[in-house]
Homo-oligomer: A and B are copies of this chain.
Amino acid sequence: MKVSIGPKPFIQPNPVLVVGSYDRSGEPNIMTVAWGGMCCSVPPCITISPAKKSRTCENIMVSQAFTIRIPSTNFVKEVDYVGIYSGRNENKFKSLGLTPVRSEKVNAPYVNEFPFILECKVIYSHEIGVDTQQFIGEIVDIKAEEEILGGDGLPDIRKVQPFVYDEVGGNYYKIGDLVAKAFLIGKKK
């Protein structure tokens, strides 16, 4: 029997995305978000929805650009730190000993130590609810370290080793075993 558990922000799982942005003075900031995901194929676009009060939101409203990094499990401590503490009170790159690099194609910094970076320019933005700003960023390029690429020259999820977030339990999980080939397992015989 189905029971009602009320209106809650629960899907399982959420992605873990690290957003890079500059403030007006060129100070770099990074923030971890789980409210985000792909939203268009042509052109390729990603959406993120940070809190309006966040430094990241304020920065992107001005710069109209951001980077996204797909983090791997070996950086889980840094990624969690970046989600807990605000760029209003510290330079998180300095706190963590990470190196900000200006993106080639957009006005936003990325973390040099992170191997998988999306460079995004804002094409749309609007408010949602009481305290959230949604940005839609067109992905103008992806930069990846060769070590995470597969034989086809594209990011291999087994080498990227991303992790996901469960809002319900408040935990991060690895990607597990292969279930099936998509667009094949469900094909009519």
A residues touching B (Cβ–Cβ < 8 Å)?
A: 1-15, 17, 34-47, 49, 68, 70, 73, 76-85, 104, 115-118, 123-124, 126, 128-132, 134, 136, 138-146, 149-150, 153-157, 160, 162-188
Contact = CB atoms under 8 A, between A and B. Distances in A.
Given A5-B153, A132-B41, A142-B6, A13 B162 contact: yes
Residue from A73, A104, A143, A164 having most chain B Cβ neighbours under 10 A: A164
B178 A176 contact: no
A18 to B, nearest CB: 11
Given A143-B3, A186-B81, A154 B46 contact: no
B12 A157 contact: yes
A143 B12 contact: no
Nearest to A166: B157
A173 B162 contact: no
B172 A182 contact: yes
Given A5-B155, A42-B131, 20 more contacts: A3-B146, A5-B153, A5-B154, A10-B118, A10-B139, A14-B15, A14-B38, A35-B38, A40-B128, A40-B132, A41-B129, A42-B129, A43-B130, A76-B186, A83-B186, A163-B179, A170-B183, A172-B185, A173-B175, A174-B175
A96 to B, nearest CB: 9
A154 to B, nearest CB: 5
Contact of A43 (B7, B146, B173): B7
Minimum-distance CB pairs A-B, first 10: A80-B186, A176-B176, A37-B37, A81-B186, A174-B176, A9-B44, A172-B179, A39-B49, A2-B143, A40-B129
Given A14-B38, A41-B129, A141 B3 contact: no
B39 A134 contact: yes
